[in-house]
Amino acid sequence: MNPALFPLGHKGITYFQVVVALESFCSLGVLFGAYLAWHLGGLARTIPRAIGALGWGLFAYELVGVYISFMFLAGPPRILAVGIAVCTGCASWLTTNPPPKPEQMNQQLG
């Protein structure tokens, strides 16, 4: 049985090549979101209020990645998307109400 070819330019590509390209592209998108979350985490460590709604927007972006990976992909992209979305959601929730700094606690106590 001959493989189905999708026309692309002057030659065709197979279904396998389309799937590999989609999985690679989605994995890179998820990894970009993870890098962005890591970078914003450094900012949130020093100024938690500077993140604001951006953390929740990044969490929504990651949830879209989870949905796409569950609809069209399997294996590592799916696991990676879920793990990063959980970490981003927890981080956004923690920066919403950051714990008081030690200086503020000392002022309240005394």
Structural domain contains residue 89: yes
Structural domain contains residue 76: yes
Structural domain contains residue 2: no
Question: Average pLDDT, whole number, for the chain?
Answer: 77
User: Is this model's pTM higher than 0.85 or not?
Assistant: no
How many domains are there within the chain?
1
Structural domain contains residue 49: yes
Structural domain span for residue 80 = 23-99
Structure-derived torsion over alpha carbons of residues 14, 18, 20, 22, reported in degrees to the nearest 10: 180
Structural domain contains residue 82: yes
pLDDT in tens, 52-106: 788 888 889 889 888 888 887 778 878 888 988 898 888 888 777 656 666 665 6
pLDDT of residue 96: 74
Structural domain contains residue 93: yes
- Is residue 26 a contact partner of residue 69, using CB atoms and an 8 Å limit? yes
pLDDT of residue 70: 85
Structural domain contains residue 29: yes
